[in-house]
Amino acid sequence: MATNSSKRGGHPTSGPAALPPELVPELLDWYDAHRRKMPWREQSTPYRVWISEIMLQQTRVETVIPYFERFMEKLPDIAALAAADEETLLKLWEGLGYYRRVRHLHQAARLIADAHGGIFPSDHAAILNLPGIGAYTAGAIASIAFGQPVPAVDGNVLRVLARLTGATDDIAAPPVKVRFTGLLQAIYPAGRPGDFTQSLMELGALVCLPNGEPKCADCPWHDRCFARRHGCTATLPVKAPPRPRRVVERTVLLLCRLDAVALVKRPAHGLLAGLWEFPTLEGKMEPDAVRRHLEKEGIAITGDVRVLGEAAHIFSHLEWHMTGFRVECASRLPGCQWATPLEIEKVYPLPTALKAFVRRWLAGT
Ligand code: ADE
């Protein structure tokens, strides 16, 4: 594919002014032969497509499938989602991360119940207006669930198109997404828009792989692809390196009484909002300092302060470096609740970051 460079609207852009329409049947034929089975592909109702698309943000298909099945079993429709309580939702989402997504689902379900008579809206602008839905997700729902020729451009599609066209701009730059959306819009097939959306995603997931070797020999666009023909699949797409993550040291306290441990609810806003955690102190503390701190707080310690070792958890923008302690107590800190292992398993949503300490506590470490 020929490339040229130009400046539009003050932003540098590179690549062709149009995509050849033959790309569409070539990719759809490949998709028909290679598409993977996924529960939301068997039955593409707006509700199922919506929930799957939100779950699939920043999360792999294999991880999502069991969460999706469980979610559909417990909350089979918009009315059930709107009526669910937040703790139930967070528990269903436990381990998927980016918990803001499920809060937005809840808000959107309530808005659909109030403003759209409980029916998922088919109008693209109305879809885009729902909490937690941006241009990508609106395009995915409009095309897959409603058969509208609206592109959905996520990171995978940006990578595919950057290689196909030889675009050398940073794919994180918003004008690049706008330009690729426009290029796709011009060739979107009215007959199979949802399949075209999913075929682009599937190509990114199965063939046009990110780091390492893309499987160019398996690609339906092998002969057209700029990056394949010029041997630059390793350098395309161009992407600015991520900002370094902030490291936060935390001292995590498992205050135990009989078979229970104390949990405290995280604030309603911010990271892991509304999930439960163990009482935590800032910084990395030694056992003596932990004991002194708890005694100062009026906690009746009935045994030794046992080290549960270290654990780390990486979020998108931050790393927790944690040291855990197990302390036998006769009382708990203010705001805490005693929880048994069964309650932790079934009721309280806990961040994955803390699961290592739960396991060590249960193993009697
Ligand atoms: N990633 C995002 N949406 C997807 C879909 N519908 N199928 C496969 N992977 C996806």
> Ligand 1 mean position to 53 CA, how many Å?
6
Higher pLDDT, 3 or 345: 345
Q: Whose CA is nearest to atom 6 of ligand 1?
A: 198
Q: Taking 60 as the threshold, does the pLDDT of residue 8 lie above it?
A: no
The region that residue 147 occupies, defined by phi over 0 for left and psi between -120 and 50 for alpha, beta otherwise, is left
Interatomic CA distance for residues 146 and 45, integer angstroms: 9
pLDDT of residue 13: 58
How far apart are the two ends of the chain, measured CA to CA in Å?
A: 61
Q: 42 and 232 in contact (C-beta within 8 Å)? A: no
| Average of per-residue pLDDT values in the chain | 95
Residue 11 has pLDDT above 60, yes or no: no
Substitution candidate for ligand 1 out of 58, 61, 153 with most atoms within 8 A of CB: 61
Which residues carry out catalysis?
Answer: 53
State yes or no: pLDDT of 183 exceeds 50: yes
* CA 51 – CA 331 distance, rounded (Å): 42
From the number of C-beta atoms within 10 Å of its C-beta (0-12, 13-18, 19+), residue 271 rates as middle
Cα distances from 208 to residues 74, 200, 211, 227, 356, in angstroms, run 35, 10, 10, 11, 35
Mean pLDDT, residues 305-333: 95
Q: How far, in Å, is the centroid of ligand 1 from the Cα of 2?
A: 29
- Alpha helices (H) along 151-286: 155-165, 174-185, 193-206, 226-229
Judge contact between 218 and 243, C-beta under 8 A.
no
Return the closest-CA partner of residue 321 out of 267, 230, 249, 231: 249
- Contacts of residues 69-72 at CB distance under 8 Å and 24 or more positions apart, as own/partner, are 69/39, 72/39, 72/48
pLDDT per position as a tens digit, 51-106:
999 999 999 999 999 999 999 999 999 999 999 999 999 999 999 999 999 999 99
Q: Spell out the alpha helix ranges (H) of 214-346.
A: 226-229, 287-296, 341-346
pLDDT of residue 12: 45
CA 54 to ligand 1 center in whole angstroms? 10
With a Cβ cut-off of 6 Å, ligand 1 is lined by 38, 53, 56, 61, 140, 198, 201, 205
If you measure from the C-alpha of residue 102 to the centroid of ligand 1, how many angstroms do you get, rounded to a whole number? 18
Give the separation between CA 252 and CA 308, rounded to whole angstroms. 9
State the alpha helices, DSSP H only, in 2-57: 23-34, 39-42, 46-56
Strand partners, 320: 248, 313
Instruction: Provide the whole-model pTM.
Output: 0.94
pLDDT in tens, 240-256: 999 999 999 999 999 99
Contacts for 89 with CB less than 8 Å, ≥ 6 apart = 81, 102, 103, 105, 106
Neighbours of 234 (CB within 10 A): 10
- What ligand 1 atom has the least distance to the C-alpha of 144? 6
**Rg (the chain; Cα; Å):** 25
| Vertex 176: Cα angle to 173 and 180 (nearest 5) | 150
The one-letter amino acid code at 310 reads E
d(CA 228, CA 221): 9
49 token code pair: 């497509």
For the four alpha carbons of 46, 75, 155 and 195, in that order, the dihedral sign comes to negative
| pLDDT of 14 strictly over 60 | yes
Q: Phi/psi at 298 (nearest 5 deg)?
A: 85, 15
Which helix (H) or strand (E) is 106 found in, with range?
helix 100-115
Residue nearest to atom 3 of ligand 1 (CA): 53
For the CA of 156, the closest atom of ligand 1 is 1
Which residue minimizes the CA distance to atom 1 of ligand 1? 56
Closest residue by Cα to atom 2, ligand 1, is 56
Residue with the nearest Cα to atom 9 of ligand 1?
A: 201
Residue 101 CA, chain-centre distance (Å), reads: 8
Evaluate if residue 148 carries a pLDDT over 90: yes
Q: Which atom of ligand 1 is nearest to the CA of 154?
A: 2
Instruction: State both tokens at 36.
Output: 């993977």
Dig out the tokens for 231 from the structure: 């041997």
Query: How far does residue 58's CA lie from ligand 1's centre (Å)?
Result: 11
* pLDDT, position 182: 97
208-226 average pLDDT score: 95
